[in-house]
Amino acid sequence: MGYLENVSYEDITIGQTAAYSKTVTERDIQLFAIVSGDANPVHLDEAYASGTPFEGRIAHGMITGALVSAAIATTLPGPGSVYRSQSLRFRAPVRIGDTVTVRLEVSDKNDRSHLVTLDCKAYNQDDKLVASGSADVIAAPGRIRVEAPILPEVSLD
Residues near its own copies (CB under 8 A): 1, 4, 20, 22, 28, 30-42, 44-45, 48, 52-53, 60-63, 65-70, 73-74, 79-80, 82-90, 133, 146-157
Minimum CB distance to its own copies smaller for 13 or for 151? 151
The vertex-15 CA angle with 14 and 17, nearest 5°, equals 120
Residue whose CB is less far from its own copies, 3 or 13: 3
CB of 84 to its own copies, least distance (A): 6
Nearest alpha carbon to residue 84 among 117, 128, 54? 117
How many beta carbons lie within 10 A of that of residue 38, not counting itself? 13
Whole-angstrom CA distances from 19 to 45, 46, 106 are 31, 31, 12
CB of 33 to its own copies, least distance (A): 6
Minimum CB distance to its own copies, residue 52 (Å): 8
Q: Give dist(CA 101, CA 71) in Å, integer.
A: 9
Q: Which is nearer to its own copies, 63 or 139 (CB)?
A: 63
**Shortest distance in whole angstroms from residue 126 CB to its own copies:** 21
Task: List the beta bridge partners of residue 102.
Answer: 20, 122
